[in-house]
Chains A and B, each alone.
Chain A
Amino acid sequence: MVLKVFFPSCCSSAESGILIGRWISEQNSAVVLAVVHFPFIPVQVKQYLSELQRVTKVSVSVLGSWNNSKQEKEESLSEFLEDLGTIFSHEPWIQISKEGDSKFWSCSTLQKRSNNHREEEIIIVYYDQRKVMLSCLHPPLDTGASTAHEAEDASRLSAIFDTVAKSKILFMTDKYDDGPIKLTHWQSDGVEASIIVELMKQASVPACMLLTFLLSLISGACKSRMLKFWPLSFLWSKLSTCEQLSHRLQHLQVISSNKKAQNQTQLMRKANIFVSLLIDVALGILLMSWLYRKNRIGHLADTLIPVADHVAEELQDLLQWLMGAPAGLKMNRALDQVLGRFFLYHIHLWISYIHLMSPFIEMILWYVGLSACLGLTVALCILSDIVALLTFHIYCFYVYGARLYCLKIYGLSSLWRLFRGKKWNVLRQRVDSCSYDLDQLFIGTLLFTILLFLLPTTALYYLVFTLLRLLVVIVQGLIHLLVDLVDSLPLYSIILRLCRSYRLAAGVKFRVLEQQDGKPLRLLMQINPLSYGSVVQTYRLPTYSCYPKDSWTSLCKKLFLGELIYPWKHKGEKQD
């Protein structure tokens, strides 16, 4: 089989020494992690490697020798390196040698146990150690859940990424350390660290503790018995602001927990939530500063009452139109007048209610606008709730119209069955034939005729109010869609993909470097980053999203029958 040697590109100019790394025998590949330089004592090297193996659980061993001769070939050195093969018995013993500044290295293997010396083909694959160490392959394998069988099937790429990632501690010693072993790897010129990151790590511990304490106070206050009385709990469940606030509270609890993130997914989730909260609050404060500058919120409050008045007047005009001959249709005069007057009275009540509230509106709005500093999502939810409150009368009219229409439709269908001599059997849930008395038939047919001729009037009222209600529902739905977007977008992952694309790897790509006959094949392994679509899909934050619970056909059916529709269903709500 072909022998593959994964060589870190940072060790290309290292001095002569021996190669340490991991040998993956199932795939006939050697992953070189570092080069140990002369002078060294073999016993100490073996001790160091066993210590490393115990800590990282990666089977690191001596793989072979590396000969970087700047001048002409030194025969004694190459013999010495071959003799090392007997001390550090590893099967096969890989010997790589580089002359001067040549790009083309020669690589050979010494197999002691096998009898037939076949000329194996050797492929040298260069890889960037730092990038492979930091990167994370998608789809991620759950190391906890994998059985031994799956571990065998694990792709060679994930084995290589795993090996380099787990050997982080090997890369912590640099050339300035006074140890018995001198290594070359990507960090051997000096361990990298960032002061800002260290300071933030130190500062985050007390900040997290403070935040946890505050959150426990707030959640304790929220769970108190006072807020659970019936009218209040009903109100809280209907207002979307409360849902959004509790959702954000949950997010804060996730961030401020003391447990370190176990794996990559949890870490990314925490980071995404943190960035999402930050951006949300920043946008909210921006919105707030825009609203309060030049007293825009005062202007908004001033225009609110006239707008509500205008809407009510438009509704009155609409009802007057319906009470006449709308679109040339002839309505039943009496029913028309009754329904029209009923709804007009409601509008009159609504207008007086609004005028009662008008002196307080500005103050309420001013204080409610302050809560925009909690986040843009909260502000949008408040807007959606205000829209719902202002159009409450439309909702009421829709319910009245729908109930009336529904009643009429059910009555009509039942009397139609009577007309044909059939009956609905509740026990068997089917239509059965039934013999009616003559007077039953007579009254039934009379009622049927009356309901049938009153149908157009009711249907028209129902249609008009359903359309208005659907308009309001669509506006609310759009606002909630926007809130969902801000809630669930994984901004940290997207920025990571933009700036440090090697951290999120969908796979690898190989580039064939210059070749020379007789020398092993040279390939460069680069990281193939994940596409933006898969980044968003993998790291989306779960939300209490509202999605339409009915398909188009069932929605149309419900509209036709007059059943009340609540098109947006929140996750976690019980089915009615």
Chain B
Amino acid sequence: MEISGRPYRSASGAPLALRRRQHSASCRELALRRPRLQLRSLSAVTSAVWLAAYGIFVLSENSMVLSAAIFITLIGLIIYLHFVKIDQESLLVIGSLGIQVTSSYASGKESTTFIEMSRVKDVVINEAIHMQKVIYYLCILLKDPQDPQGVSEVVPLFQSSQPRLDCLMEVYKSCQEILDQRKEAPQSSEMK
């Protein structure tokens, strides 16, 4: 079952699309898609760099400057697409298995982290003071092996998309529905 993207905004105002898919009763996928790389900005940066290089070439009469500029532009673009530009961030919650966080980059690379359900304490929305504004972010609290009530680590989610509170609440509600199921299950098995 799929619910197609509704328009939300990120903390900086960029448009985001949230997509929810329910694969089964205990498995949900939530994906946030960011705006793609615009041809406009790409050509603007490339022309600026090449104009500057041409200016230096005219001043210094050294043709190496031009080839160096082309080289730098290519390498810079590859590095940007492969390491910096995140296209989509998704959260896959499988009740009784765990939570998987994936970031897909513009070059197709996907970096995934899977956290087992036994390590997850809870999923909460936290506030943070960043420079002059207060931002909300969703995070997973991990259990501390020594202290059953304590939290050993906080894993923030959707760090590059930074959606606003309305989007975060949707995601939070979806996650909590699945996490509630695991709290019910041990109780019912005790009642047997």
B residues near A512, Cβ cutoff 8 Å: 23, 27, 29, 92
Q: Which of B23, B29, B96, B116 contacts A4 (CB 8 A)?
A: B96
Q: Which of A125, A155, A157, A515 contacts B24 (CB 8 A)?
A: A515
Give 1 or 0 for each of A496-510: 1 = CB within 8 Å of chain B CB.
Answer: 000000000001111
Chain B residue with Cβ nearest A150: B145
B118 at the interface (CB under 8 A from A): yes
CA A515 to CA B92, docked complex, whole Å: 15
Asked if A2 and B23 make an inter-chain contact with CB atoms under 8 angstroms apart, the answer reads no
CA A123 to CA B27, docked complex, whole Å: 10
Asked if B97 and A153 make an inter-chain contact with CB atoms under 8 angstroms apart, the answer reads no
- Would you give the shortest CB distance from B31 to chain A, in whole angstroms? 12
- Would you give the shortest CB distance from A506 to chain B, in whole angstroms? 9
CA A508 to CA B118, docked complex, whole Å: 15
Asked if B116 and A510 make an inter-chain contact with CB atoms under 8 angstroms apart, the answer reads no
A202 at the interface (CB under 8 A from B): no
A528 at the interface (CB under 8 A from B): yes
Chain B residue with Cβ nearest A509: B112
Asked if A528 and B114 make an inter-chain contact with CB atoms under 8 angstroms apart, the answer reads yes
Asked if A114 and B192 make an inter-chain contact with CB atoms under 8 angstroms apart, the answer reads yes
B residues near A153, Cβ cutoff 8 Å: 118, 145
B163 at the interface (CB under 8 A from A): no
- Would you give the shortest CB distance from B96 to chain A, in whole angstroms? 4
> Which residues in window 10-46 of B have CB below 8 A to A?
23-27, 29
B94 at the interface (CB under 8 A from A): yes
B residues near A429, Cβ cutoff 8 Å: none
Asked if A1 and B118 make an inter-chain contact with CB atoms under 8 angstroms apart, the answer reads no
B62 at the interface (CB under 8 A from A): no
- Would you give the shortest CB distance from A26 to chain B, in whole angstroms? 10
A residues near B26, Cβ cutoff 8 Å: 2, 121, 123, 521
A156 at the interface (CB under 8 A from B): yes
Chain A residue with Cβ nearest B27: A521
B113 at the interface (CB under 8 A from A): yes
B107 at the interface (CB under 8 A from A): no
CA A121 to CA B96, docked complex, whole Å: 11
Where the two chains meet, the residues of A that have a C-beta atom closer than 8 Å to any C-beta of B are: 1-2, 4, 28, 114, 116, 121, 123, 125, 153, 155-157, 507-510, 512, 515, 521, 523, 528
CA A512 to CA B24, docked complex, whole Å: 10
Chain A residue with Cβ nearest B29: A512
List 8 A-B pairs, Cβ < 8 Å.
Answer: A1-B186, A4-B97, A28-B96, A123-B24, A156-B118, A512-B23, A521-B23, A521-B27
Q: A1-B185, A1-B189, A2-B26 are in contact. Are A523 and B94 (CB under 8 A)?
A: yes
B174 at the interface (CB under 8 A from A): no
B residues near A123, Cβ cutoff 8 Å: 24, 26-27, 94, 96-97
- Would you give the shortest CB distance from A108 to chain B, in whole angstroms? 16
B residues near A528, Cβ cutoff 8 Å: 112-114
A residues near B92, Cβ cutoff 8 Å: 510, 512
Given A156-B118, A512-B29, A521-B24, 4 additional A-B pairs, CB 8 A: A121-B25, A512-B27, A512-B92, A521-B27
Q: Which of B94, B95, B96, B186 contacts A510 (CB 8 A)?
A: B94
B100 at the interface (CB under 8 A from A): yes
- Would you give the shortest CB distance from B182 to chain A, in whole angstroms? 8
A residues near B24, Cβ cutoff 8 Å: 121, 123, 515, 521
CA A132 to CA B138, docked complex, whole Å: 33
Top 5 nearest A-B pairs by Cβ distance? A521-B24, A2-B96, A509-B112, A1-B185, A507-B114
- Would you give the shortest CB distance from A25 to chain B, in whole angstroms? 11
Give 1 or 0 for each of B82-115: 1 = CB within 8 Å of chain A CB.
Answer: 0000000000101111001010000000001110
Q: A508-B114, A509-B112, A528-B114 are in contact. Are A116 and B94 (CB under 8 A)?
A: no
Chain A residue with Cβ nearest B25: A121
CA A308 to CA B179, docked complex, whole Å: 75
Chain B residue with Cβ nearest A519: B24
Give 1 or 0 for each of B150-192: 1 = CB within 8 Å of chain A CB.
Answer: 0000000000000000000000000000000000011001001
Most buried by A among B24, B95, B114, B119: B24
Chain B residue with Cβ nearest A122: B24
Chain A residue with Cβ nearest B95: A2
- Would you give the shortest CB distance from A7 to chain B, in whole angstroms? 15
CA A153 to CA B119, docked complex, whole Å: 10
A residues near B112, Cβ cutoff 8 Å: 509, 528
- Would you give the shortest CB distance from B169 to chain A, in whole angstroms? 24
- Would you give the shortest CB distance from B141 to chain A, in whole angstroms? 17
Chain A residue with Cβ nearest B96: A2
A residues near B114, Cβ cutoff 8 Å: 507-510, 528
CA A523 to CA B95, docked complex, whole Å: 13
Chain B residue with Cβ nearest A2: B96
CA A528 to CA B101, docked complex, whole Å: 12
CA A153 to CA B145, docked complex, whole Å: 9
Chain B residue with Cβ nearest A157: B116
CA A507 to CA B116, docked complex, whole Å: 10
Chain A residue with Cβ nearest B117: A156
B residues near A507, Cβ cutoff 8 Å: 113-114
B residues near A157, Cβ cutoff 8 Å: 116
CA A571 to CA B94, docked complex, whole Å: 49
Q: A521-B27, A523-B94 are in contact. Are A510 and B100 (CB under 8 A)?
A: yes
- Would you give the shortest CB distance from A118 to chain B, in whole angstroms? 8
- Would you give the shortest CB distance from A88 to chain B, in whole angstroms? 24
- Would you give the shortest CB distance from B113 to chain A, in whole angstroms? 7
- Would you give the shortest CB distance from B98 to chain A, in whole angstroms? 8
CA A508 to CA B98, docked complex, whole Å: 11
CA A114 to CA B189, docked complex, whole Å: 11
Most buried by A among B112, B113, B119, B186: B112
Chain A residue with Cβ nearest B114: A507
Q: Which of A114, A510, A515 contacts B97 (CB 8 A)?
A: A510
Q: A123-B97, A510-B97 are in contact. Are A515 and B118 (CB under 8 A)?
A: no
- Would you give the shortest CB distance from B190 to chain A, in whole angstroms? 11
CA A528 to CA B23, docked complex, whole Å: 22
CA A509 to CA B192, docked complex, whole Å: 34
CA A507 to CA B100, docked complex, whole Å: 11
A residues near B145, Cβ cutoff 8 Å: 153
